[in-house]
Structure 1
Amino acid sequence: MFCCKHSCKNEDSCGEVCISYCAVRKWVRIFKGEDAGETILRDRKRSGRPLSASDTAHREKVDCMIRANRRVKQKEIADEVGISKERVHHIVTTVLGYRKISANWVPRRLTVEMKAQRKDMCTQLLERYNAEGEAFLQCILTGDESWVDHYDPECKAQSMEYRHKTSPSPRKFKVVASARKALLTVFWDMEGVVYMEFLEQGQTVNSERYISTLQALKLRLRRVRRDKDSTLQHDNARPHISRQTQDALRQLELTDPTAPCTQPRSCPL
C-alpha cells in the first residue's frame, strides 16, 4: 500500500525483509479496484459455512447417548449421530462439559444398614465436636496395622540434583523393594505418632496380641498424655471388635461410652 501511493519499490522501503511480489500485486489490485482508499489489511467478517454439526439437535443426541450409557465411546457416538469424531469431542468436552474419569477402588460394597451405621457414628462425633470443640479432638486416638518393607528404595524425585545445562545428568540404578516385610502397628493423635511396634516374625494379630499392644499403648499414654483423656477410634477388624478386646478397652479406660469406639474405615493406613 505504501509503495503504491509513493510509486516506489518494496525493496527501497523494506530492504531484504519484504513480502513476495505476488502478495503485493494482489494488494495493489485490491487498492486500485473496488476498494480504492481502504487501508484495513484484515479479513472482513463473512458468514462462511455454518457449524451444523454443533447445533442444538446434535448436542441433544450426544447428551442422550451419554446419559443412557456413561461408558460409550466417542467413535460410537460419531457413527450413531453421523458427525465427525472431532465434532463429537468438541461437543462432549467443551459444549456439554463432560470428562471421562475412572472409578475409585473401595474395600467393599456397603449395604443400606452399613451406610446408616456410619452416618449415625459420624453424627455422634460431630455433635461431640460441636459441644466440646478442640478438646474432643485432642482426646481422640486412632491406630491401624500396615505392612512395611525392610528397605524402601529411594525414588527418582529424591535423587534429583542441581546441574548446569551442559553437565551430564546423573545415573541411578534401579533398586527393587525389599522382599521381606514386617507388620507395623501404629497409634497417633492430632499431634503425631504416640506409639508403634512391629510384630515378631511368625506371629499373627489376634485378640490376645492386640490386647498386649493396647496395654503397652496405655503405659505410653501415661508418660506422654498425663492430663488428657484418651478415646480410641479404630476400624472394625476382627481383633479390634472381639469381646475380649472390648473388655480390655474398658479396663484400660480407652473408650468413651458417649462416642462410638469402632469406626469402619476410619484409619488411612
Structure 2
Amino acid sequence: MCISDCAVRKWVRIFKGENPRETVLRDRKRSGRPLPASDTAYREKVECMIRANRRVKQKEIADEIDISKERVHHIVTTVLCYRKVSARWVPRQLTVEMKARRKDMFTQLLERYNAEGEAFLQSILTGDESWVHHYDPECKAQSMEYRHKTSPCPRKFEVVASARKVLFTVFWDMEGVVHMGFLEQGQTVNSERYISTLRALKLRLRRVRRDKDSILQHDDTRPHTSRQTQDALRQLELTTLPHPAYSSDLAPPLTIICFPNSRST
C-alpha cells in the first residue's frame, strides 16, 4: 500500500503542531460532549415550529435551533410522532351555506330512515350517467406473459386512439338494474333528452316494480334540475330525494354496480 506525498506532508504538519520542534501525539481539547437533542427544551421548540408552519422542512428546523438534521428527524418522527402527508384533492370547496344545507338534508334522510327502516332504502332508485368505451380493456392478470429477464417488458395502452366511447345511462335499486340506455350518436344530454329517459323509466317501473313505490335519486346537474324536468317529474308522479350540491358520494359507484369486471371513465 503506497501513501501519496501530499498525505505524508499533511500528517507531518499535524504531528508537528504550531511549534515545528514539538511533536503532538495527544488529542487537543474539544468543546466536549454535544448536548442531547431529545430533551424537553428541544422537543418544545420543534413542536412550536411545526405548529406555526405545518410545511416547515427538517433542515430549516435544524438550522433554527442549531442541532443536526438527524436529531430533528428523530424528534419529529419518534418523539413527537409526526408524519408528513400530502393534501387530498376534493372536487369543490363548500361554503358555509352549502355545508348547512348538506347537514339539513342528511338529517332529513336519517330521520326518514329511522322512521321507515329498510323499506326506505329498498325504495330508492338511483340514476347516473357515465362514459364507457366500445371495448373492454384487459386487466393486469389477463395481460401477463412468459418472458426472459433480457426480454422487453410488454406494454398495454389504457386509451386507444381509434376507440370510441358512448354515454351510458342506468337506473338501479337494491334488487338490481331497472333501466339502462345509451345516448345516440350526435346527441347531447339536455332537459328534453332526460325527460324522454324518465318517461321510458316510468314505463319500465310499471312492468318490473309494479307493487313498489320508487323514490328517484339523481345528482344536481342542469338537465336534472331544470324547470322542464321538474314539471315532467310531477306529471310522471316521480318523487325525488333531496340532493345537495357537489355530493356525488351519496350514490354508490356506477362502475361497481354495472361493470364489476371492467372499467369506465
Runs of 4+ aligned structure 1 residues displaced above 4 Å come to: 167-171
- 2:173 counterpart residue number: 189
Structure whose alpha-carbon radius of gyration is higher: 1
Q: In structure 2, what is the Cα distance between the partners aligned to 1:188 and 1:55?
A: 61
Post-superposition CA distance 1:196-233 (Å, at most 9, x none) = 22211211111111111111122222232222111111
Give the one of 191, 198, 202 matched to 1:218.
202
Give the one of 77, 96, 118 matched to 1:112.
96
- 2:79 counterpart residue number: 95
Q: In structure 2, what is the Cα distance between the partners aligned to 1:201 and 1:82?
A: 68
Shifted more, 107-116 versus 213-222: the winner is 213-222
Cα 1:223–1:73, aligned 2, differ >3 Å: closer, same or farther? farther
How many pairs does the alignment contain? 214
Q: Does 1:261 align with 2:245?
A: no
Shifted more, 213-222 versus 234-243: the winner is 213-222
8 Å CA contact retained: 2:105, 2:244: yes
Q: CA deviation at 1:157?
A: 3.7
Q: Does 1:175 align with 2:157?
A: yes
Q: Does 1:61 align with 2:42?
A: no
TM-score by length of structure 1 reads 0.71
Q: CA deviation at 1:124?
A: 0.3
Post-superposition CA distance 1:106-143 (Å, at most 9, x none) = 22211111111111110000000001110000001122
8 Å CA contact retained: 1:150, 1:181: yes
In structure 2, give the amino acid aligned to 1:70. Answer: R
Q: CA deviation at 1:95?
A: 2.0
Give the one of 56, 77, 85 matched to 2:69.
85
Cα 1:120–1:158, aligned 2, differ >3 Å: closer, same or farther? farther
Give the one of 99, 110, 121 matched to 1:137.
121
In structure 1, give the amino acid aligned to 2:237. Answer: E
Q: In structure 2, what is the Cα distance between the partners aligned to 1:95 and 1:222?
A: 65
Q: CA deviation at 1:190?
A: 2.6
In structure 2, give the amino acid aligned to 1:236. Answer: D
8 Å CA contact retained: 2:105, 2:243: no
Q: In structure 1, what is the Cα distance between the partners aligned to 2:75 and 2:175?
A: 49
TM-score by length of structure 2 reads 0.72
8 Å CA contact retained: 1:152, 1:178: no
Give the one of 162, 186, 189 matched to 1:202.
186
8 Å CA contact retained: 2:98, 2:244: no
Post-superposition CA distance 1:10-60 (Å, at most 9, x none) = xxxxxxxxxxxxxxxxxxxxxxxxxxxxxxxxxxxxxxx898111111111
Percent identity reads 80
Cα 1:186–1:85, aligned 2, differ >3 Å: closer, same or farther? farther
8 Å CA contact retained: 1:149, 1:178: no
**Larger relative contact order (Cα-Cα within 8 Å, sequence gap ≥ 6):** 2
> Structure 2: any 5+ residue segments left out of the alignment?
1-32, 255-265
Q: CA deviation at 1:156?
A: 2.1
Q: In structure 2, what is the Cα distance between the partners aligned to 1:153 and 1:111?
A: 39
In structure 2, give the amino acid aligned to 1:254. Answer: L
State the superposition RMSD in angstroms.
2.5
Cα 1:76–1:50, aligned 2, differ >3 Å: closer, same or farther? closer
